[in-house]
Amino acid sequence: MSSQDLRALVGLAIALVGGAILSPLLPGLIQTLKARLQGRVGPSIFQPYRELRRLWGKSVVSPQSTTILYRLAPSVSAAALLCAVAVVPVMAGEGSFPLGHDALVLLGLLALSRFALAVASWDTGSGFSLMSASRDLTFSVFVEALILIDITLAALPVHSTDLSAMVAGTAGISGWGGPVRWCALGAFFLVVVAETGRQPVDNPDTHLELTMIHEGPLLEYAGRDLAMLQWSSAARHWVILALAAEIFLPHAAGPLESLVCLVIWLVVLCAGLALAETWQAKMRLLMVPRLLVVGSVLAVTGVVTFYMGARL
Amino acid sequence: MSVITEVAPQHWQSACSALLDQKMRFLGLYASHAEGALALRAMFHEQAEPVALVPGERRDGDGERCRVRPFAEVLCEPDSGYRPGCSSSPFRVLTCSSAEGSFGSIVHRVPAAVWDEREAHDLYGVELKGHEPMRALVAHPAALNDWTVPVTGQGTNQVVVGPIHAGVIESGHFRFHAVGERILNLDLRLFYKHRGLERAAQGASLERAIKIIQRACATDAVSNSLAYAQACEELLGLWPTKALALQRTLLVELERLYSHLNDIGAICAGIGFAPGAMAFSSMKERALRVNHALSGHRYLFDTIAVGHATRLASEKAEAAAEELEALRSDAMRAWREVLFNASVQNRLKGTGTLPRKIAQRLGAVGPAARGSGLKLDARTFSARLCYEGFVPLLPEDPTGDVASRMAARAAELPATFDMLKELLEHVAHPPALLAGTEETAPCSPIGVGVVEGPRGQSVCAVESDGETIERVHLRSGSYANWPSLAYCTAGNLLGDFPLINKSFELCYACVDR
């Protein structure tokens, strides 16, 4: 086994451990920090694990009218997220493994998870699930465009949509003198907020059916299915935040150094989300696309600047 | 005592119109059984000045904080005792009985009577000619056409919420007609927890019935039971002593305080602004503890009695005053945080607008009415409490949206703190009995009491021979405001409904009764 393969294996192992096992710590950390900021004691950062254990031990209850689409959705969503976790590289200089690190594959996997849940909401026929799924899909038009342009911005300098190439290409602090990286970073902050379902886009704490976005399709699920969906949501936090830390935020080039950077940035990003969620109220629903368009404009500005920079 | 006028069924509509032409304001309407026939009673009161504020008009008393007459001064005056005659009562009751139970509807003249008439139809089988279509309110027919407004058109769909909700919310069913996210119409179905309290009180003694009335709802316990007590006292020809009036004013203001703190916090929670929600709910808790220290009950239950005072822990008054002083500075600071948060104000401004004219037509009361610019507050005519010189407090910019309903509450907080501080100095006075007559013979067959509670005026009518209740009717502020809530929801986004709902913070229980 070559050292390249070994590195790939280690990288994959770290990604799986981080994404699959440690990812519930991220929403846990956000909840704890939020509680402290609001003057409450709040739950410990391990609370999501307790939730998962509790739900995992419960049997699944499905509405009578549902079909296989509804029952498959949690597995499909969780499987898509597990693959996504493997696709996101966690270390700089990591070799590639058979699944590859293609950014478009990652986008496809995230979309697959969303699609599975939307189909399941349609299957239940529950008004609130459908309403939330419809909102989610409407916003996803804007979010996916935004991610795509933003990823393009990171891909342009390295001439590749391979994420590990992007990680290597964006390492160091050399690129931060120009406006391109800043545009990419600004745009990706909006991706983080929208994809993790945090305020001002969505309120993860709400129990008001009429205002739900990401919570809505989960309304009918129970037991093990719900555990899978909650894990998927935590894994989504990992994927998006790791992407932000590895590509869009400044990071080191060496494998170990980049790991340290990743951990630091994850904590900082969680704190940032907790802070934003504390001081921002939830946005008016129809204002969200506008916010996301602002992000897209920022990313497009970055692309234009990149080409102008290349010509000059 | 209130002026009671009996009219013939054929003159019912014209008599009501005549009273309204004299600038009387509609308080409520209810049905009753009277000697084998069905009777309708409509309550009105004289309003001293027009309630609608002319745009741009300067409000009198701007810049002042506490507008009521100093309580020390009130206490120094001798008790006037029994006030005979009806010259002092601002209330008018029109009654009308008909063996067939058929009356003309007044809903076209008084749109505010729409729920009252529907309830009288459902519970007493009163036929109201001209009220078309008579949609069910208390009754729950299965057919949608019997209780909802039909909506047709391309792309309209119905969104159904409740009566069982995802959170700890009372039972209420909301049926939205919407196009996408935009609400076209909202139909309400309440009365899931109709307990028949008014019926249960029939035949009970005046003393006992107050327990039943009070349990209509916890958060309006004082205002509802005080409205009842005042109705009984008016019926019996009793007038409160100054000390008793002070104690009752204190209780009403304590109820207003915790309620307003709760409501402002609830609006913050409705938009996911957790720091505001947390700050105000912790302050509400502190206010509840003050209530507990003073009265022995967090929600001030059993603090009102017919004809006499209850004991308040006067030895705790000083500590309570200190706590309220601390609460005041915390509340004002938290309010500024909410006021100057752009993301919060962005959500509140222009959401759920209740125009002034509609508020007046639909008979909105309390902070909802004042948020729409109506200078309407039952404290201005509460002669049985200590509110001499009270001027309704309106928000800076009463546009009728969620922001101004919230500001209407915040505007009242300083005055309430001022009054409470002064009132607590006088709570040490010994519990006072009512000044008045020894005789308990009823002065009038119907008594009316109106108290400005946190959600608006509670109106209570009592019919009695002086011993037992023949009919009691409670119309709380929530009851008056539900139609306004349904009106101002139309045109807003589905996702904003919980927020609009919370800006009214109406009670289901005292509507269901």
CA nearest A136: which of A121, A109, A114, A116? A114
Average pLDDT, chain A: 88
Cβ atoms of residues B458 and B16 within 8 Å: no
Q: Give, rounded to a whole angstrom, the gap between the first and last alpha carbons of chain B.
A: 26
Chain B partners of A35 at a C-beta cutoff of 8 Å?
Answer: none
Cross-chain Cβ contact B272/A219 below 8 Å? no
* pLDDT on residue B484: 92
* pLDDT on residue B56: 42
Cross-chain Cβ contact A279/B346 below 8 Å? no
pLDDT tens over chain B, length 513 residues: 578 888 888 888 888 888 888 888 888 999 888 777 888 888 988 876 655 544 444 444 444 444 567 776 766 666 655 454 444 677 888 888 888 888 888 888 888 899 999 999 989 888 888 888 888 888 888 888 888 888 888 888 888 887 888 777 888 899 998 888 889 889 989 999 899 899 899 888 888 899 999 988 888 999 999 999 988 888 887 778 777 888 888 999 999 999 999 999 999 988 888 888 889 999 999 999 999 998 889 999 888 888 777 778 777 888 888 999 999 999 999 999 898 888 888 888 888 899 988 898 888 999 999 899 888 888 888 888 888 778 888 888 888 899 999 999 998 898 899 888 888 887 765 555 554 444 444 577 888 899 999 998 999 999 888 788 889 999 999 999 999 999 999 889 888 888 899 899 888 888 888
Min Cα separation B277/chain A (Å): 9
Cross-chain Cβ contact A279/B344 below 8 Å? no
* pLDDT on residue B53: 47
The verdict on A41 touching B (C-beta cutoff 8 Å) is no
What ranges do the domains of chain B cover? 3-115+193-512
Helix H, strand E, coil C: the string for B194-211 is CCCHHHHHCCCEHHHHHH
Cross-chain Cβ contact A210/B494 below 8 Å? yes
The A residues from 13 to 32 touching B (CB cutoff 8 Å) are none
- CATH code: domain B3-115+193-512 is 1.10.645.10
Assigned token pair, B83: 């006030």
* pLDDT on residue A95: 64
* pLDDT on residue A44: 92
Three-state DSSP class for B490? coil
Residue of chain B whose alpha carbon sits nearest to that of A213: B495
Task: For residue range A176-196, list pLDDT tens digits in order.
Answer: 888 888 899 999 999 999 988
* pLDDT on residue A188: 92
Task: For residue range A242-292, list pLDDT tens digits in order.
Answer: 999 988 988 888 888 888 989 999 999 999 999 988 888 888 888 889 999
Min Cα separation A300/chain B (Å): 26
The B residues from 111 to 170 touching A (CB cutoff 8 Å) are 159-161, 165-167
Mean pLDDT of the region A224-229: 92
What does pTM read for this prediction? 0.86
Min Cα separation A199/chain B (Å): 8
Name the percent of chain A lying above pLDDT 90: 42
Min Cα separation B323/chain A (Å): 20
Q: ∠ at Cα B461 (B457, B462), nearest 5°? A: 145
Query: Looking at the predicted complex, does its ipTM rise above 0.90?
Result: no
User: Who's near A82: CB < 8 A, 6+ residues apart?
Assistant: A19, A20, A235
Min Cα separation A295/chain B (Å): 18
Task: For residue range A99-112, list pLDDT tens digits in order.
Answer: 778 899 999 999 99
Chain B partners of A39 at a C-beta cutoff of 8 Å?
Answer: 275, 278-279, 282
The B residues from 258 to 287 touching A (CB cutoff 8 Å) are 268, 270-275, 278-279, 282
Q: What is the Cβ-side half-sphere exposure of residue B477, based on CA atoms within 13 angstroms?
A: 29
User: H/E element holding B395?
Assistant: none
Cross-chain Cβ contact A279/B341 below 8 Å? yes
Chain A partners of B343 at a C-beta cutoff of 8 Å?
Answer: 200, 279-281, 283
Cross-chain Cβ contact A34/B274 below 8 Å? yes
Q: Which residue has the tokens 């009577």?
A: B113
Chain A partners of B162 at a C-beta cutoff of 8 Å?
Answer: none
DSSP 8-state assignment for residue B154: T
Mean pLDDT of the region A66-93: 89
Q: Which residue has the tokens 């001030």?
A: B300
Mean pLDDT of the region A67-80: 92
* CA A29/CA A8 separation, integer angstroms: 29
Min Cα separation A132/chain B (Å): 10
Min Cα separation B166/chain A (Å): 6
Min Cα separation B417/chain A (Å): 25
Q: Give, rounded to a whole angstrom, the gap between the first and last alpha carbons of chain A.
A: 46
Adjacent-strand bridge partners of B31: B40
Chain B partners of A200 at a C-beta cutoff of 8 Å?
Answer: 343
Chain A partners of B161 at a C-beta cutoff of 8 Å?
Answer: 209-210
Cross-chain Cβ contact B165/A286 below 8 Å? no
Cross-chain Cβ contact B275/A208 below 8 Å? no
Cross-chain Cβ contact A210/B344 below 8 Å? no
DSSP 8-state assignment for residue A283: P
Residue of chain B whose alpha carbon sits nearest to that of A283: B347
* pLDDT on residue B55: 43
The verdict on A311 touching B (C-beta cutoff 8 Å) is no
Cross-chain Cβ contact B343/A200 below 8 Å? yes
Q: Which of B164, B333, B349, B494 to mutate to test the interface with A (most CBs of A within 10 A)?
A: B494
Assigned token pair, B290: 């003050």
CB atoms inside a 10 Å sphere around CB B7? 18
Question: Which is more confidently placed, A20 or A213?
Answer: A20
The most distant pair of C-alpha atoms in chain A lies apart, rounded to whole Å, by 65
Cβ atoms of residues B419 and B253 within 8 Å: yes
Question: Which is more confidently placed, B74 or A309?
Answer: A309
* pLDDT on residue A144: 92
Cβ atoms of residues A190 and A138 within 8 Å: no
* DSSP track, B15-55: HHHHHHHTTEEEEEEEEEEETTEEEEEEEEEE-SS-SBPPT
Determine phi and psi for A271, rounding to 5 degrees: -60, -40
Q: Which of A138, A211, A220 to mutate to test the interface with B (most CBs of B within 10 A)?
A: A211
Q: ∠ at Cα A69 (A63, A72), nearest 5°? A: 95
Cross-chain Cβ contact A34/B278 below 8 Å? no
